[in-house]
Amino acid sequence: MAKVLLINGSPRKNGCTARALEEMAKVFEEEGIAVSTLCIGGSTARGCLACGYCIKNGKCVQDDAVNAAAAEFEEADGLVIGSPVYYGSPNGSLISFLDRLFYSTPFSKHMKVGAAVVSCRRGGNTSSFDVLNKYFTISGMPVASGTYWNMVYGSTREDVEKDGEGLQTVRNLARNMAFLIRAIGDAKEKYGLPAVEKTARTNFADGK
């Protein structure tokens, strides 16, 4: 069975972001896709130390929620990242978590399907959405889309319940994501995954 990992970056486990992710989870279950949810917004995840430990050991030197989440991420066929908006950007703890999760894990993310969902009271949603999508596009992960930018509005769960368009958008997003996961799974069986060239690292200072 295909699996999707939902990461809730809000410290409020039952807040606006959770409500949007719950709407997606319902659709995934209807589509026959297993769902696992991690709430990491209240964690004290520190940023990357740039120590190089993970390159040699395959995991982060800071043995916390990042290493705990790595196995679930590896097994997942898709990843949804949800975050509230803080000063026009995702939650800082979530950013620290994602920087380390994506960098420290040696397994390929290639062709896992990614999607970002943001919640806000009023503004900063598109800039936060942009930040989260960059984790997917640097990792060879196809980005699923909905029928509008994937965002819900409100200060409380009750507010989000009134955002009919936002909830509809994330339902459509979940359906599109489920389709992509199945389509990629079928194509993998028939054609194999696309080849990935070895990374060519260019130093802009000397052109090498």
- Mean pLDDT, the chain, rounded, equals 95
Q: Give, to the nearest 10 degrees, the angle between helix 16-30 and helix 164-191.
A: 50
pLDDT tops 70 at residue 208: no
Can you give the pTM of this predicted structure?
A: 0.95
Is the pLDDT at 204 greater than 90? The verdict is: no
Q: According to the model, what pLDDT value does residue 43 have? A: 85
How distant, in Å, are the alpha carbons of 37, 70, 104 from that of 66? 14, 6, 9
Instruction: Compute the distance between CA of residue 174 and CA of residue 28 in angstroms, rounded to an integer.
Output: 6
pLDDT of res. 72: 97
**Residue 68 predicted with pLDDT over 80:** yes
Query: pLDDT tens digit string along 189-199?
Result: 999 999 999 88
**Predicted local confidence at residue 1, as pLDDT:** 93
- Rounded mean pLDDT, 130-151: 97
Asked if pLDDT for residue 168 goes beyond 90, the answer is: yes
Task: Spell out the domains of the chain, with CATH numbers in brackets.
Answer: 3-191 (3.40.50.360)
User: How far is Cα 114 from Cα 203, in angstroms, rounded to an integer?
Assistant: 29
Residue carrying the six token digits 């368009």: 165
Answer whether residue 200 shows pLDDT above 90.
no
